[in-house]
Amino acid sequence: MKPTPPDQPTPRAGGAVVPVLAFAGIVVAVMQTLLVPVIKDLPQLLDTSPSNATWVLTSTLLSGAVATPIMGRLGDLFGKRRMLIFSLAVMVVGALISAVTSDLLPMIVGRTLQGFAMGAIPLGIGLMRDMLPREKLGSAMALMSSSIGVGGGLALPAAALVAQHTNWHALFYGAAGLGVLSIVLTLLVVPESPMRAKGSFDLPGAFGLSLGLVLFLLPITKGSDWGWTSGTTLGLFAGAVVVLLLWGVYELRTAAPLVDLRTSARPAVLFTNLASIMVGVSFYVVSLVLPQLLQLPKATGYGLGQSMVVAGLLVAPLGLTMMFTAPVYARLSAKYGPKSTLILGMLIIGIGYGAGLGLMSASWQSLVIAVILGAGIGLAYSSLPALIVGAVPASETGAANGLNTLMRSIGTSVSSAVIGMVLANTANDMNGVAVPTMHGFRVSFLIATGAVAVGLLMALFLPKPNRAPQLRASSEEEENLARAEEALRGFRGRVLDAGGAPVARAKVTLIDRRGRQAGATLSADDGSYALTVPTQGAYVLAARASGHAPHASAATHGGDERVVDMDLSLPREAVSPSTG
C-alpha cells in the first residue's frame, strides 16, 4: 500500500456530506428495526419456535457488533469511504437473500449479512472527523451517533404500512433499495479521506471476537430450552469466558490490534463504554415491547388491539424525539459538558421505563413512553462520542469511537437475546400460537430499568473531562482551543515502528530546504508529535529513536491548511553479526 503523499491536504466536506452520511446511518437503523412490526408473527411466518425466531433479530445485532471494529480498522487501513460503500453493499446482498426466502436458516444468513452495515456508524464519524472544521464536528457527530435511533423510529410506521398491505418480503426489497440509494449518494457526494493507518488487519483478533460473542449470546438465547444448568449452557458460557480472555491477551500483545484495549482501560473511556452497553440495552427493549403490546388483540385482556400502522405511528416519536434533542444536546453540552448530558439522559430513560411499568393500559400511554424515552436516549447517544473524543488523543479517536460503537452493539445484541428469551418463556399458548404476556412485558421493562440504573452509576464514575475539543463550540474552552490550533500551523502525527506500534520519546526534527533545523520535539507516550512551521514550503521530517534506524520523509506545507497530518515509520535497527 502506497503511503499518502504528505502534501495532500485532507479534503473539506461540502454541505451535503453530513446529510448523506447521516442518511447512511438512518439506512442502517431501518435495516436493524425492519422486522419489529412483524416480531409477533415471525414464528408463524418462518414456521419455527419463538426462541428460534429471535435469532432473526439477534443474528443481525451480533454480526453488527463484530463488523463495527472490523469495518473501522479496514477503513483506517484502506479508506473509510471505500469500506462504508462495501458495508452497505453487503447489506444490500443480505436484504435480497432475505427477500426471496421464508426458511429460517437462509433468513438468518441474510440478516447476518445485513448486520455488516452497522460498521457505517463509526466509518461515518471517522469521515466527519477527518473532513469537518472544529465548529461543525460536534453537532455532526451527535447527529451520526443518534441516527440509529432516528431511523429506527421513522422505519417503524413505514415498515408497518408495507407489512400490513403487501407481502412482508417487500420490507427487504425496500431496505435493499435504500442501501443502493445510500451507496450512490456516497459515491457522488462524499470524498475519500487520505488518512491511512499503518500496519495490517488483525484477522485472528476478528475471529476471536466473533467466536467469543457467539459463544456468549447463544446460551442466552437457548438457555431456557436447554436448561440453565445444563452442560451445554454452562459449557458455552465457560467457552465464551476463555475465548474472550485469550482474545484480550492476544490483542494486548499484537502490534496492530483490532481493538485497542489499552485505550479502553482509561477510566474516562472505560466507564463511558460500560454506560454505552446499558444505553444499548435500554434502547432496544422499548423497540421490542411496545409494538407487540400495541398489536395484541384486546381479547387477551391487556393487548391494545391496534393495527401495525397505528402501532408504528405511536412508537415513531421515539426516533423523532431523538432527532429533536440534537440541538438541545448541543446547548446543554456546551454549558455543562457531555458528562452532565449523559447523566441527564440516563435519568430521563429511567423515568420513562419506571413510568412505563404503570402506563400499559392505553394506546396514548405508549406515545408518552416513546416521547420520554426518545428524549433520554437521544441525549445519552449524543453524549457518547463527545466523551470518547474528549478522553483520548486525536490520533486515537478512530479506534476509541469504533470500540464505543461496538459496546453499544453488544448492548443491543444482549438486549435482543435476553428480552426475546423472557417474552418466549412467559408466553401463553393460544390455539397453538405463543402470545407474549403482560408479565413478560413488565419483566422486560424492569430489566431495562435495572440496566439504566447500572449505566447511571457508570456515568457518575466518569472523571471530569479536562478537555472537550470538537464538541463545545460556544464555550470559552472551545474558543481557546480554536486559537491554539490556529497558532499551530505545521505538521503533526505519530511516530510508529514497522508493526504500527507507537514509539515514545523519538526525536523528530524539522529541516528546511536549506538544510537548517526549523524545529524539534520528542514524541509522547502514544507516539504523537506536533511541530510548527515558520513559513509554507518544502521540509524534511527526520525521526530517530533508540533501537530503531533513523528515517526521513519529505513533507510540504502549502499554507492553505493549518495542520498537515503525517505519520513517521521507524524500522527496527538491524543487528550486525559479530565478526569476533
Q: How far is CA 408 from the centre of its chain?
A: 6
Distance of CA 256 to the CA centre of its chain: 20
Which DSSP letter does residue 105 get?
Answer: H
Chain centroid to CA 369: how far?
25
Confidence grade of residue 126 (pLDDT, cut at 50, 70, 90): confident
Q: How far is residue 247's CA from residue 243's CA, in Å, rounded to a whole number?
A: 6
Residue 367 has pLDDT above 80, yes or no: yes
Residue 219: name the closest of 55, 428, 434, 454 by CA. 55
Q: Which of 33, 31, 146 shows the shortest CA–CA distance to 97?
A: 31
**Do 46 and 168 form a contact (C-beta atoms < 8 A)?**
no
- Beta-bridged to residue 544, according to DSSP, are 507
The band of 146, judged by pLDDT with boundaries at 50, 70 and 90, is low
Cβ contact 119:87 at 8 Å: yes
Calpha distance 529→527 (Å, rounded): 7
Calculate the CA 358 to chain-centre distance: 32
**Superfamily name with CATH number, domain 489-570:** Carboxypeptidase-like, regulatory domain (2.60.40.1120)
- b/e per residue 541-571 (b: at least 16 CB within 10 A): bbbbbeebeebebebbbeeeeebbbbbbbbe
Distance in angstroms (rounded) separating the CA atoms of residues 39 and 284 = 13
Q: Kindly state the cell numbers that stand for 287.
A: 423497540
User: Of 80-89, 118-127, 317-326, 385-394, which gets the smallest average pLDDT?
Assistant: 385-394
pLDDT in tens, 1-14: 434 443 344 455 55
pTM across the whole model: 0.65
Whether 461 and 267 have beta carbons less than 8 Å apart is answered as yes
Cα 240 to Cα 317: distance, rounded to the nearest angstrom: 38
What would the DSSP string read from start to end of 239-285?
Answer: HHHHHHHHHHHHHHHSSS-SS-HHHHTSHHHHHHHHHHHHHHHHHHH
- Which percentage of the chain shows pLDDT scores above 70? 84
> Can you read off the three cell numbers belonging to residue 88?
452497505
- Tens digit of each residue's pLDDT (9 = 90 or more) over 438-484: 888 889 999 999 999 999 999 888 876 544 344 333 343 344 434 43
- Give just the sign of the alpha carbon dihedral 118, 121, 124, 130: negative
pLDDT at 185 over 90: yes
CB atoms within 10 A of CB 5: 12
User: Tell me: the pLDDT tens digits for 261-300?
Assistant: 777 777 888 888 888 888 888 877 887 788 888 888 887 7
Q: Where are the domains of the chain?
A: 17-201+256-460, 202-255, 489-570
With beta carbons less than 8 A apart as the criterion, state whether 119 and 401 touch.
Answer: no
Confidence grade of residue 152 (pLDDT, cut at 50, 70, 90): low
Per-residue pLDDT of 29-68, as tens digits, reads 888 778 877 777 788 888 888 777 878 877 887 788 778 7
Fold for the domain defined by 17-201+256-460: Growth Hormone; Chain: A; (1.20.1250)
The residue among 132 and 357 whose pLDDT is bigger is 357
Quick one: pLDDT at residue 80?
86
